[in-house]
Amino acid sequence: MVVREWRVDPRSGDLNVDALDQLLGERTKLVCFPHVSNIVGSVNDVNAITAKAHAVGAMVCVDGVAAVAHHLPDVKALGVDFYLFSVYKMYG
């Protein structure tokens, strides 16, 4: 198994969706990323990232812990395979 790290842009703290292309390949099985950055608060384009991952046959797992306290996402509309969050972060 090989794990590849999708690094954030050091100037902005954001994930660059275009930079993901060079990390994906036919052997990619799973792409994991946060819906919202807990550091800088940027909202990642889940639909675009999911489309890229699914195009190579990979499954998508989104960490929604920093997002769900602010809005409940429509997971079906996002098209992700897994959407995770911690209930204790929402309701104490």
CA dihedral 14, 20, 22, 23 (to 10 degrees): 110
Domain assignment present for 79: yes
pLDDT bucket at 24, cuts 50 / 70 / 90 = very high
pLDDT of residue 86: 86
What whole-number distance in Å separates Cα of residue 24 and Cα of residue 43?
21
Residue 82 lies in a domain: yes
Question: What are the residues whose beta carbons fall under 8 Å from the beta carbon of 63, sequence distance 6 or more?
Answer: 32, 33, 34, 35, 84, 85
| pTM, full prediction | 0.90
Residue 88 pLDDT class (50, 70, 90 cuts): confident
| Domain contains 45 | yes
In a domain, 29, yes or no: no
Q: Is residue 22 domain-resident?
A: no
30-83 pLDDT, tens digit each: 999 999 998 899 999 999 999 999 999 999 999 999 998 888 899 999 999 999
Instruction: Quote the pLDDT of residue 92.
Output: 62
- The verdict on residue 69 lying in a domain is yes
| 73, part of any domain | yes
80 within domain boundaries: yes
Count of domains observed in the chain: 1
Residue range(s) defining the domain that contains residue 59: 35-91
In 3D space, the residue among 87, 30, 92 whose CA is nearest the CA of residue 62 turns out to be 30
The per-residue pLDDT for 75 is 93
Q: What is the dihedral of CA 50, 47, 61, 18, to 10 degrees?
A: 60
Q: Alpha carbon of 62 to those of 11, 21, 28: distances in Å?
A: 23, 18, 16
